[in-house]
Amino acid sequence: MSKLQNRRILLGVTGGIAAYKAAEFLRVCQTLGAKVRVVMTPAATEFVTPLTFQALSGMPVHTKLLDAEQEAGMGHISLARWADVIIVAPASADFVARLASGMANDLLSTVVLASTKKLMLAPAMNQVMYTDEKTQQNLAKLAELGATILGPDAGLQACGDVGFGRMLEPEALAEEIMNYFHTGELAGLKVLLTAGPTREAIDPVRYISNHSSGKMGYSVAQACVEAGATVTLVSGPVQIEPPSGVETLDVVSAEDMFETVMARSKEADIFIAAAAVADYTPLNVESHKVKKNKSEIQLNLSKTKDILQKVAGLPAAPFCVGFAAETENVEEYARVKLDKKKLDMVAANLVGVEDSGFNSDNNALTVLWSNGRAELGSKPKSALAKELVTLIAKRFYEKNSV
Ligand SMILES: Cc1cc2nc3c(=O)[nH]c(=O)nc-3n(C[C@H](O)[C@H](O)[C@H](O)COP(=O)(O)O)c2cc1C
């Protein structure tokens, strides 16, 4: 798999001479497997046409903020959410100044302000503009706020000056993005993850399922990507958007999920079973809708395959993390699950209570492993997922270093 496979890069292009190099940068990212969308400032369109970027990316190029048509398609908030990383290359002195002062007066600055994703800036400008104290202060402020400033290089400039201000070469910029994705706690590891409920058909219109929303599993998938892992998510039917940067495989029933997981389990370093898989499935699926002509009917159920147990029992099993959702005796049942299935870790949560567990945006987890435990107190699932991933990474490396 290429180093930027499935990574979503939002490329911002501003009005500078180096705008032409952004086209080459886009090509490099695509060759490495990334999906790239382009937002240009109005000034940038004076240097290179949006058509160039559209032809290269195969995607519409976004240039206007106050454009009803663009907002109806992929508007500024959707663009901000779509990206795994935003890189502005070249970043003009003017754009840097606007960002540093929190302005949102064009589409690109608005997208950046509306995003919590990693921001990288590749300044490119005349050496006097670059060394000017105001530009330096603006860059320092943005760096302090979490942006990564890439370059610039020194050398001969388009204006004939010699000094700092040349944009880094496209390959060097791509390298920086690869480093970003490969320095996290799970850098270079492959994570296979299940999430959501399963649906067990009774007849062509009815099924048995549960209240799992998939939010916890999706948050863990997102946190794994942010920690540098390559993530494959096997998901039951849910109403939420797949996390960005994740390969998502949709399944419906417990049997589908079993088949899909087993087909991918051999390549995984870590397996996280966050799905609420049905324990039982109808023995026979009626071929026609069951009629309402009896006062009582019986549904015979058979046990489904235990996906987690099967993966944990593989000869070269990945590091296995289970989730236990219980309505009582949470820790006790979770410890039994850990031992019985020979898991590396179990994240247990209480369900059936208000504002926690299934369908809620919050959760609390008790995480157990053979000789330890950790309490992750009630918080949004996204924050909880990050803490859980840190624990998983720590235990994974402890296990694999002995
Ligand atoms: C020919 C020409 C080249 C320019 N090159 C640069 C440049 O390399 N870097 C820069 O910061 N500004 C450069 N500028 C100035 C910017 O285009 C100007 O500040 C503009 O407002 C930037 O808008 P934007 O940041 O919204 O894209 C140049 C202007 C002209 C006319």
Instruction: Read off the pLDDT of each residue in 144-165 and give the average, rounded to a whole number.
Output: 92
pLDDT over 50 at 1, yes or no: no
CA distance 112 to 236: 33
Q: Are residues 300 and 173 in the same domain?
A: no
Residue 225 lies in a domain: yes
- Write down the pTM of the prediction: 0.62
Q: Please identify, among 163, 181, 199, the residue that sits at the C-terminal boundary of a domain.
A: 181
Model confidence band, residue 359 (pLDDT cutoffs 50, 70, 90): low
More confident residue, 295 or 159: 295
CA atoms within 13 A on the CB side of 231: 31
Q: Could you report how far apart the first and last alpha carbons of the chain are, in Å?
A: 28
Residue 276 lies in a domain: yes
Q: Are residues 226 and 371 in the same domain?
A: yes
Instruction: Report the CATH number at residue 246.
Output: 3.40.50.10300
More confident residue, 183 or 148: 148
Q: Are residues 146 and 237 in the same domain?
A: no
Question: CB–CB of 216/197 below 8 Å?
Answer: no
Residue 35 lies in a domain: yes
Percent of the chain with pLDDT over 90: 74
Query: Is 224 a residue of the active site?
Result: no
Residue 3 lies in a domain: no
Residue 120 lies in a domain: yes
Q: What is the pLDDT of residue 338?
A: 95
In this predicted model, what pLDDT tens digit does every residue of 28-64 receive, in sequence order? 999 998 999 999 999 999 999 999 999 999 999 999 9
**Nearest 5°: CA angle at 188, between 183 and 189?**
125
Atom of ligand 1 nearest to the CA of 125: 9
Q: Please identify, among 181, 208, 242, the residue that sits at the C-terminal boundary of a domain.
A: 181
pLDDT over 90 at 299, yes or no: yes
| Choice among 29, 159, 224, 320 that is catalytic | 159
Question: What's the token pair of residue 222?
Answer: 């997102």
For atom 25 of ligand 1, which residue has the closest CA?
95
Range of the domain at 348: 190-401
Computed over every residue of the chain, the mean pLDDT equals: 92
Q: Are residues 250 and 364 in the same domain?
A: yes
pLDDT over 90 at 350, yes or no: no
Model confidence band, residue 390 (pLDDT cutoffs 50, 70, 90): very high
pLDDT over 70 at 193, yes or no: yes
In this predicted model, what pLDDT tens digit does every residue of 112-154 receive, in sequence order? 999 988 899 999 999 999 999 999 999 999 999 989 999 999 9
Give the chain's domain count: 2
Q: Are residues 227 and 313 in the same domain?
A: yes
Q: Which of 94, 95, 159, 161 to mutate to test the pocket of ligand 1 (most atoms within 8 A of CB)?
A: 94
Q: Which of 92, 96, 111, 142 to mutate to test the pocket of ligand 1 (most atoms within 8 A of CB)?
A: 92
Residue 1 lies in a domain: no
Model confidence band, residue 400 (pLDDT cutoffs 50, 70, 90): confident
More confident residue, 377 or 194: 194
Q: Please identify, among 119, 153, 181, the residue that sits at the C-terminal boundary of a domain.
A: 181
Q: Are residues 248 and 327 in the same domain?
A: yes
Q: Are residues 158 and 222 in the same domain?
A: no
pLDDT over 60 at 357, yes or no: no
Question: What's the token pair of residue 96?
Answer: 């840097």
Q: Are residues 173 and 197 in the same domain?
A: no
Using CB atoms within 10 A of its CB, is residue 64 exposed (0-12), middle (13-18) or buried (19+)?
A: middle
Q: Are residues 343 and 315 in the same domain?
A: yes
Q: Are residues 171 and 55 in the same domain?
A: yes
Residue 99 lies in a domain: yes
In this predicted model, what pLDDT tens digit does every residue of 221-265 receive, in sequence order? 999 988 889 899 999 999 998 887 789 999 999 999 999 999 999
| 349-359: burial string, b at 16+ Cβ within 10 Å, e else | bbbeeeebbbe
Distance 13 CA to ligand 1 centre (A): 11
Q: Are residues 156 and 100 in the same domain?
A: yes
Residue 28 lies in a domain: yes
Range scoring the smallest mean pLDDT among 114-118, 318-322, 334-338, 343-347 = 114-118
Q: Are residues 84 and 175 in the same domain?
A: yes
